[in-house]
Amino acid sequence: MPRRLPVTTENQWFQRAEVLKRNRQKRWHHRQFFVEGVRSINRLRVDRRWQVEALLYTPERRLSGWARDVLAEIPAPLHLELSAPLMDKLSDKEDASEVIALVKMPDLDVSAIPRREDALVLVLDRPGNLGNLGSILRSADAFGAHGVVLTGHSVDVFDPAVIRASAGAFFSMPVASLPATAALDAWLTRFEQEVPGLRIVGTSAKAPREIGECALGGPVVLCFGNEATGLSQWLKGRCHALAGIPMQGVASSLNLACAVTVVLYETRRQRQVPGDG
């Protein structure tokens, strides 16, 4: 049985949840992150790899059948029973969430990225926008990617805005972090050695070829640069090929999440069996 604690003031429990929501350093210090939203909470119900350390709700409002099921099914050791005003203050939603979870933060170890013969892995070089990162996780999940690697100084993948934008895909997509160039290079080298035919393809608005002209049907690592500055010069040089997305109109480039989705769609198109569907 979970331990139930009433929270009627902004005590240490409320402050813990509030700081996990807004402060990256505190999230990493406590090794916990803040989760709200039906899709994300539902992933926690079915995927027990995630260790939920506390569930927050208010007993002052009648809970839906869904919320009661969540409280019964997710094996959290602690239930924090907030007053309604505190729950409203903590939730980002117009109608306050019925249940919020505090979840143990896993390591972002590169061993989580599988080295498959049909590998489809994304490398995001210094992504700087929370919503973009969440949307990329959503697209990666939708198009069958096997993992996402963050490199350089990236926004925090455990930020609630990332999790919310991923529409639940955050909990399904393996994510690793390799901030240092040397570590990324060593990982790519091992990947090339262990997966024959692996191609590393980068994207650039000034690339000499279009993405549809690149061979993406085999194992591939797709590299995407920062929203403002693009791929680093080092990573461009590490790629086997660079490709761009053909565009018309006045904009010189797409939003990063849109660009990733376009490239993933083209990769999926090339991998489909002729006549399939």
- Residues 30, 11, single domain; the answer is yes
Question: What pLDDT is attached to residue 277?
Answer: 42
- Residues 59, 117, single domain; the answer is no
Domain coverage including residue 87? 3-104
- Residues 84, 132, single domain; the answer is no
- Residues 15, 46, single domain; the answer is yes
DSSP-derived secondary structure for the chain = -PEEEEE-SS-HHHHHHHHHHH-HHHHHHHTEEEEESHHHHHHHHH-TTS-EEEEEE-TTSPPPHHHHHHHHHS--SEEEEE-HHHHHHH--SSSPPS-EEEEEPPP--GGGS---TT-EEEEEES---HHHHHHHHHHHHHTT--EEEEESS---TTSHHHHHHTTTGGGTS-EEEE-SHHHHHHHHHHHHHHSTT-EEEEE-TT-SSBGGGS--SSSEEEEE-BTTTBS-HHHHHH-SEEEB----SS-SS--HHHHHHHHHHHHHHHHSPTT--
Where among 71, 104, 137 does a domain terminate?
104
Whether the Cβ atoms of residue 125 and residue 76 lie closer than 8 Å to each other: no
- Residues 97, 117, single domain; the answer is no
d(CA 106, CA 158): 10
- Residues 124, 78, single domain; the answer is no
- Residues 92, 163, single domain; the answer is no
Residue 247 placed within a domain: yes
How many structural domains is the chain composed of?
2
Question: What pLDDT is attached to residue 206?
Answer: 85
Residue 277 placed within a domain: no
- Residues 184, 49, single domain; the answer is no
Where among 104, 120, 154 does a domain terminate?
104
The CA-to-CA distance between both ends of the chain, in Å, stands at: 49
Question: What pLDDT is attached to residue 183?
Answer: 97
Question: What pLDDT is attached to residue 276?
Answer: 45
Question: What pLDDT is attached to residue 92?
Answer: 79
Where among 64, 89, 104 does a domain terminate?
104
Residue 130 placed within a domain: yes
Question: What pLDDT is attached to residue 63?
Answer: 96
Report the predicted TM-score, pTM, of the whole model to 2 decimal places.
0.93
pLDDT one-digit tens code per residue, 95-138: 789 999 999 999 999 999 999 999 999 999 999 999 999 999 99
- Low-confidence residues of the chain, pLDDT below 70? 273-277
Question: What pLDDT is attached to residue 251?
Answer: 75
d(CA 239, CA 236): 5
Residue 244 placed within a domain: yes
- Residues 125, 253, single domain; the answer is yes
Whichever domain contains 83, its CATH number is: 3.30.1330.30
Whichever domain contains 198, its CATH number is: 3.40.1280.10
Radius of gyration over alpha carbons of the chain, in Å? 21
- Residues 86, 127, single domain; the answer is no
Nearest one of 160, 173, 156 to 260, comparing CA atoms: 173
Residue 276 placed within a domain: no
Give the number of residues written for the chain: 277
- Residues 75, 138, single domain; the answer is no
Question: What pLDDT is attached to residue 274?
Answer: 58
pLDDT one-digit tens code per residue, 65-104: 999 999 999 999 999 999 999 999 998 777 789 999 999 9
Chain centroid to Cα 12, Å, comes to 28
- Residues 69, 150, single domain; the answer is no
Residue 145 placed within a domain: yes
